[in-house]
Amino acid sequence: MDNFEAAWDRWQPLPSQFSGEVPTASALIGANSLEPWLEARYSELASSGYIMEAAAAVGLLVRLWVPTGTQMAGATPPSGPAARWAEGLPSRELDALERFALERSGRLQEELYELPGMGADPTPQDVRRMAYDRDALECVLTVLRLAGRGTMLAPELGHCDDAAITVASALPITPGLENDPLLRAVGRKRPFAWWAFEVDFGYVGTRRTPGPYWR
């Protein structure tokens, strides 16, 4: 058997799903509830089963879930159980997760750079999809960082963000995007994120950068 045949025998495709159980919302936030928009987005990601979306669902709650009302008393951040899960993931699955995220980020970057040359302006639906894709990548990065990874994805997302800033004038502003609850939540946590840049929170451009409940 030559070296190529030996390598082929050892080769296995990257896993497209996690081999173990992915934490449910209740495992992350206990008996607390999700706002309807957050529950809808979490369910959309978690029901996919694909490794990237499954990780993004976990990262979404770590990043954007905030206890409200009576939930604030004694609420614990979902980052604890999420970190325990992420730290226990097999290296091969973490490698696959980052590889898939890098590919997704590269495609988004290409799509952004192509916007100025399009024959027609992007639709609000196009912009929303790109914004949601970028946010999902941020959720994946959150999980990777909990596992001590993400050193390759973080700079790639920086390049993606540079592309978005370059073509910002080609992205239409619509009331639907201004009022999108996920983008508004991103803007409250990270007001300078381009995928929430169309939301006017009254402090964009100032030094006020409010953090999440947990900080």
Residue 176 within any structural domain of the chain: yes
**103 falls within a domain:** yes
Largest CA distance in the chain: 67
Would residue 27 count as lying in a domain? yes
In a domain, residue 162? The reply is yes
Establish if 215 belongs to a structural domain.
no
Lowest pLDDT segment from 20-24, 109-113, 168-172, 189-193 = 168-172
Is pLDDT at 211 greater than 70 in this prediction? no
Let me know the angle formed at the C-alpha of 116 by 190 and 163, rounded to the nearest 5 degrees. 35
| Contact between 90 and 165 (Cβ < 8 Å) | no
Q: Distance (Å, rounded) from C-alpha 185 to C-alpha 180?
A: 9
pTM metric for this prediction = 0.85
- Evaluate whether residue 31 is within a structural domain: yes
Mean pLDDT in residue range 61-89:
86
Residue 210 forms part of a structural domain: no
Q: Is the predicted pLDDT of residue 187 greater than 50, yes or no?
A: yes
Count of structural domains within the chain: 1
| Contact (CB, 8 A) for 46 and 53 | yes
Residue-number span of the structural domain to which 143 is assigned:
23-196
Q: How high is the pLDDT of residue 108?
A: 96
